Amino acid sequence: MTTSVPSPHKSGLPAIVDMASWESARDSLLAREKAHTREGDAIAAERRRLPMAEVDGTLEVVGANGPVPFIDLFEGRNELIIYKHMWHDGAPHQGQCEGCTVSAWGLKDAVYLNARGVSFAIVTTGRWEEVAPYRDFMGYTQPWYSVRGLPEPIGDNMGFLSVFLRDGDRVFLTYDTTGRGTEPASPHFALLDMTPYGRGESWEVNPEGWPEGQRACWYWRADANGNPGWETTRPVPQWTRPGATPEHALGRADHAH
Protein backbone atom coordinates (compact mmCIF):
# COMPACT_ATOMS: atom_id res chain seq x y z
CA MET A 1 0.00 0.00 0.00
CA THR A 2 1.39 3.38 -0.98
CA THR A 3 1.66 5.97 1.76
CA SER A 4 0.79 9.45 0.61
CA VAL A 5 2.94 12.46 1.42
CA PRO A 6 1.25 14.87 3.83
CA SER A 7 -0.14 17.84 1.96
CA PRO A 8 0.73 21.43 2.82
CA HIS A 9 -1.51 22.72 5.55
CA LYS A 10 -2.11 25.80 7.62
CA SER A 11 0.13 26.39 10.61
CA GLY A 12 -1.35 24.90 13.75
CA LEU A 13 -3.26 22.13 11.96
CA PRO A 14 -2.40 18.43 11.66
CA ALA A 15 -1.07 17.20 8.33
CA ILE A 16 -3.69 16.15 5.78
CA VAL A 17 -3.33 12.59 4.43
CA ASP A 18 -5.54 9.97 2.77
CA MET A 19 -7.49 7.56 4.97
CA ALA A 20 -5.08 4.65 4.43
CA SER A 21 -2.17 6.77 5.64
CA TRP A 22 -4.21 7.96 8.61
CA GLU A 23 -5.02 4.35 9.53
CA SER A 24 -1.35 3.40 9.30
CA ALA A 25 -0.35 6.25 11.62
CA ARG A 26 -3.21 5.39 13.98
CA ASP A 27 -2.15 1.73 14.12
CA SER A 28 1.42 2.76 14.99
CA LEU A 29 0.22 4.88 17.90
CA LEU A 30 -2.22 2.17 18.97
CA ALA A 31 0.67 -0.21 19.60
CA ARG A 32 2.14 2.28 22.07
CA GLU A 33 -1.26 2.91 23.64
CA LYS A 34 -1.80 -0.82 24.22
CA ALA A 35 1.65 -1.11 25.80
CA HIS A 36 0.77 1.84 28.04
CA THR A 37 -2.51 0.16 29.05
CA ARG A 38 -0.77 -3.13 29.85
CA GLU A 39 1.84 -1.32 31.95
CA GLY A 40 -0.96 0.52 33.76
CA ASP A 41 -2.62 -2.83 34.51
CA ALA A 42 0.67 -4.18 35.85
CA ILE A 43 1.12 -1.13 38.09
CA ALA A 44 -2.45 -1.50 39.35
CA ALA A 45 -1.73 -5.15 40.18
CA GLU A 46 1.32 -4.10 42.18
CA ARG A 47 -0.72 -1.37 43.88
CA ARG A 48 -3.21 -3.99 45.04
CA ARG A 49 -0.35 -5.85 46.69
CA LEU A 50 0.94 -2.93 48.72
CA PRO A 51 1.06 -3.51 52.48
CA MET A 52 -1.30 -1.49 54.66
CA ALA A 53 -0.96 0.56 57.84
CA GLU A 54 -3.56 0.72 60.60
CA VAL A 55 -5.15 4.06 61.47
CA ASP A 56 -7.46 5.04 64.29
CA GLY A 57 -10.97 4.64 62.96
CA THR A 58 -12.48 6.13 66.12
CA LEU A 59 -11.12 9.63 65.40
CA GLU A 60 -14.03 12.03 65.12
CA VAL A 61 -14.74 13.99 61.95
CA VAL A 62 -17.53 16.55 61.60
CA GLY A 63 -20.19 16.28 58.93
CA ALA A 64 -23.78 17.26 58.26
CA ASN A 65 -24.96 15.20 61.23
CA GLY A 66 -22.30 16.44 63.62
CA PRO A 67 -19.26 14.54 64.93
CA VAL A 68 -18.95 10.91 63.84
CA PRO A 69 -16.08 8.40 63.97
CA PHE A 70 -14.02 8.15 60.81
CA ILE A 71 -15.07 4.52 60.35
CA ASP A 72 -18.62 5.74 59.69
CA LEU A 73 -17.42 7.13 56.33
CA PHE A 74 -17.34 3.52 55.10
CA GLU A 75 -21.16 3.49 55.36
CA GLY A 76 -20.99 -0.22 56.12
CA ARG A 77 -18.85 -1.02 53.09
CA ASN A 78 -15.34 -2.47 53.31
CA GLU A 79 -13.49 0.00 51.09
CA LEU A 80 -13.34 3.79 51.18
CA ILE A 81 -11.80 6.45 48.94
CA ILE A 82 -11.47 9.99 50.24
CA TYR A 83 -10.45 13.15 48.45
CA LYS A 84 -8.60 15.55 50.76
CA HIS A 85 -9.75 19.01 49.69
CA MET A 86 -7.43 21.92 50.47
CA TRP A 87 -8.99 24.80 52.39
CA HIS A 88 -8.28 28.51 52.91
CA ASP A 89 -9.77 29.69 56.20
CA GLY A 90 -12.05 32.70 55.83
CA ALA A 91 -11.77 32.84 52.05
CA PRO A 92 -14.86 33.38 49.89
CA HIS A 93 -16.17 30.51 47.81
CA GLN A 94 -14.30 31.83 44.76
CA GLY A 95 -11.09 31.91 46.83
CA GLN A 96 -10.98 28.21 47.62
CA CYS A 97 -8.44 25.90 45.99
CA GLU A 98 -8.82 25.89 42.20
CA GLY A 99 -7.53 22.37 41.66
CA CYS A 100 -9.51 20.81 44.49
CA THR A 101 -12.64 22.60 43.29
CA VAL A 102 -12.28 20.97 39.88
CA SER A 103 -11.41 17.55 41.30
CA ALA A 104 -14.43 17.57 43.61
CA TRP A 105 -16.62 18.67 40.69
CA GLY A 106 -15.52 15.60 38.73
CA LEU A 107 -16.51 13.35 41.65
CA LYS A 108 -20.08 14.53 42.11
CA ASP A 109 -21.58 11.06 41.96
CA ALA A 110 -20.28 7.86 43.54
CA VAL A 111 -23.07 5.44 42.61
CA TYR A 112 -20.80 3.19 40.55
CA LEU A 113 -18.22 3.08 43.33
CA ASN A 114 -20.96 2.27 45.81
CA ALA A 115 -22.26 -0.53 43.58
CA ARG A 116 -18.76 -2.01 43.65
CA GLY A 117 -18.72 -1.87 47.45
CA VAL A 118 -16.60 1.28 47.71
CA SER A 119 -17.68 4.37 49.63
CA PHE A 120 -16.48 7.87 48.79
CA ALA A 121 -16.22 11.09 50.78
CA ILE A 122 -14.48 14.44 50.66
CA VAL A 123 -12.64 15.68 53.74
CA THR A 124 -11.08 19.06 54.38
CA THR A 125 -9.36 20.95 57.18
CA GLY A 126 -11.88 23.78 56.98
CA ARG A 127 -14.20 24.52 59.87
CA TRP A 128 -17.56 22.86 59.29
CA GLU A 129 -19.42 26.16 59.58
CA GLU A 130 -17.46 27.36 56.51
CA VAL A 131 -17.40 24.05 54.68
CA ALA A 132 -21.16 23.43 54.76
CA PRO A 133 -22.21 26.62 52.89
CA TYR A 134 -19.41 26.11 50.35
CA ARG A 135 -20.58 22.56 49.66
CA ASP A 136 -24.16 23.77 49.31
CA PHE A 137 -23.14 26.67 47.06
CA MET A 138 -21.24 24.35 44.75
CA GLY A 139 -24.11 21.87 44.61
CA TYR A 140 -21.96 18.91 45.64
CA THR A 141 -23.84 15.75 46.56
CA GLN A 142 -20.94 13.78 48.01
CA PRO A 143 -20.58 13.41 51.79
CA TRP A 144 -18.27 16.12 53.15
CA TYR A 145 -16.47 16.15 56.50
CA SER A 146 -14.20 18.47 58.40
CA VAL A 147 -11.05 16.74 59.66
CA ARG A 148 -9.64 19.87 61.27
CA GLY A 149 -6.91 19.16 63.80
CA LEU A 150 -6.63 15.46 62.95
CA PRO A 151 -3.30 13.82 62.06
CA GLU A 152 -2.34 12.20 58.79
CA PRO A 153 -3.46 10.21 56.92
CA ILE A 154 -7.01 11.32 57.78
CA GLY A 155 -6.28 15.02 58.31
CA ASP A 156 -3.37 17.47 58.06
CA ASN A 157 -1.94 17.53 54.50
CA MET A 158 -4.58 17.98 51.82
CA GLY A 159 -4.62 17.52 48.03
CA PHE A 160 -4.52 13.72 48.16
CA LEU A 161 -6.66 10.80 47.13
CA SER A 162 -6.43 8.18 49.89
CA VAL A 163 -7.78 4.65 50.02
CA PHE A 164 -8.75 2.71 53.14
CA LEU A 165 -9.81 -0.85 53.90
CA ARG A 166 -12.01 -1.88 56.82
CA ASP A 167 -11.67 -5.23 58.57
CA GLY A 168 -14.43 -5.31 61.14
CA ASP A 169 -13.72 -2.42 63.52
CA ARG A 170 -10.16 -1.93 62.28
CA VAL A 171 -9.25 0.62 59.57
CA PHE A 172 -6.17 0.52 57.35
CA LEU A 173 -4.57 2.91 54.86
CA THR A 174 -3.76 1.02 51.66
CA TYR A 175 -2.84 3.76 49.15
CA ASP A 176 -2.60 7.48 48.56
CA THR A 177 -1.50 9.80 45.79
CA THR A 178 -1.09 13.51 45.11
CA GLY A 179 0.08 15.72 42.27
CA ARG A 180 -0.90 14.34 38.87
CA GLY A 181 -1.87 11.12 40.61
CA THR A 182 -5.19 12.78 41.41
CA GLU A 183 -6.06 13.18 37.72
CA PRO A 184 -8.48 10.20 37.72
CA ALA A 185 -10.82 12.51 39.66
CA SER A 186 -10.89 14.82 36.63
CA PRO A 187 -11.85 12.72 33.59
CA HIS A 188 -11.84 15.76 31.32
CA PHE A 189 -8.02 15.65 31.34
CA ALA A 190 -8.00 12.26 29.58
CA LEU A 191 -10.52 13.52 27.05
CA LEU A 192 -8.51 16.69 26.37
CA ASP A 193 -5.42 14.52 25.85
CA MET A 194 -7.25 12.90 22.91
CA THR A 195 -7.70 16.21 21.09
CA PRO A 196 -5.16 17.77 18.68
CA TYR A 197 -4.55 20.77 20.96
CA GLY A 198 -4.56 18.85 24.23
CA ARG A 199 -4.87 20.76 27.48
CA GLY A 200 -3.51 24.00 26.13
CA GLU A 201 -0.77 24.10 28.77
CA SER A 202 2.76 25.36 28.21
CA TRP A 203 4.47 22.18 29.45
CA GLU A 204 3.00 20.06 26.65
CA VAL A 205 5.26 19.06 23.76
CA ASN A 206 3.49 20.20 20.58
CA PRO A 207 4.38 20.53 16.89
CA GLU A 208 5.67 23.87 15.62
CA GLY A 209 2.85 26.27 14.87
CA TRP A 210 0.45 24.87 17.49
CA PRO A 211 -1.39 27.39 19.68
CA GLU A 212 0.91 28.61 22.42
CA GLY A 213 0.18 26.91 25.72
CA GLN A 214 -0.70 28.79 28.87
CA ARG A 215 0.10 28.18 32.52
CA ALA A 216 -1.02 24.88 34.00
CA CYS A 217 -4.78 24.60 34.38
CA TRP A 218 -5.37 28.13 33.13
CA TYR A 219 -9.03 27.18 32.62
CA TRP A 220 -9.62 26.66 36.34
CA ARG A 221 -10.82 30.24 36.75
CA ALA A 222 -13.04 32.35 34.53
CA ASP A 223 -15.33 35.32 34.92
CA ALA A 224 -19.05 35.36 34.15
CA ASN A 225 -18.29 35.84 30.45
CA GLY A 226 -15.83 32.94 30.34
CA ASN A 227 -12.69 35.11 30.31
CA PRO A 228 -9.86 33.27 32.09
CA GLY A 229 -8.30 34.91 35.10
CA TRP A 230 -6.52 33.85 38.26
CA GLU A 231 -6.67 36.33 41.10
CA THR A 232 -10.27 37.43 41.60
CA THR A 233 -12.55 35.29 39.45
CA ARG A 234 -14.22 32.00 40.26
CA PRO A 235 -13.31 28.41 39.41
CA VAL A 236 -15.10 27.64 36.16
CA PRO A 237 -17.68 25.18 37.61
CA GLN A 238 -19.00 27.88 39.91
CA TRP A 239 -20.37 29.83 36.94
CA THR A 240 -22.45 26.97 35.63
CA ARG A 241 -25.55 27.79 37.66
CA PRO A 242 -27.71 30.93 37.43
CA GLY A 243 -27.55 33.06 40.53
CA ALA A 244 -24.00 32.08 41.51
CA THR A 245 -22.89 35.65 42.17
CA PRO A 246 -20.02 37.08 44.26
CA GLU A 247 -22.23 38.37 47.06
CA HIS A 248 -23.02 34.80 48.05
CA ALA A 249 -19.43 34.23 49.20
CA LEU A 250 -17.79 33.91 52.58
CA GLY A 251 -15.41 36.52 53.89
CA ARG A 252 -14.12 39.44 51.87
CA ALA A 253 -14.96 39.58 48.17
CA ASP A 254 -11.33 40.42 47.40
CA HIS A 255 -9.92 37.47 49.32
CA ALA A 256 -8.84 35.02 46.62
CA HIS A 257 -5.98 32.58 46.46
pLDDT tens string 201-247: 889 999 988 988 887 766 666 554 555 555 555 555 555 555 565 54
Mean predicted lDDT score pLDDT of the chain: 85
Identify the pLDDT of residue 252: 40
CATH of the domain at 167: 3.40.30.10
Record the pTM.
0.84
**Residue 248: pLDDT above 60?**
no
Q: Please check whether residue 116 lies inside any domain of the structure.
A: yes
Q: With respect to residue 209, please indicate whether it lies within any of the assigned structural domains.
A: no
Residue 53 lies in domain: 48-180
pLDDT level of residue 164 (50, 70, 90 thresholds): very high
- What share of the chain in percent tops pLDDT 70? 80
Residue 251, pLDDT score: 41
Judge whether 253 lies within some domain: no
Within a domain: 219: no
Share of the chain above pLDDT 90, in %: 59
Is the pLDDT assigned to residue 2 strictly greater than 90? no
Per-residue pLDDT of 94-135, as tens digits, reads 778 878 888 888 888 899 999 999 999 999 999 999 999 989
Residue 31 is assigned to a structural domain of this protein? no
Res 90: pLDDT: 87
Between the CA atoms of 71, 75, 81 and 86, what dihedral angle is there, to the nearest 10 degrees? -70
Domains in the chain: how many in total?
1
In a domain, 24, yes or no: no
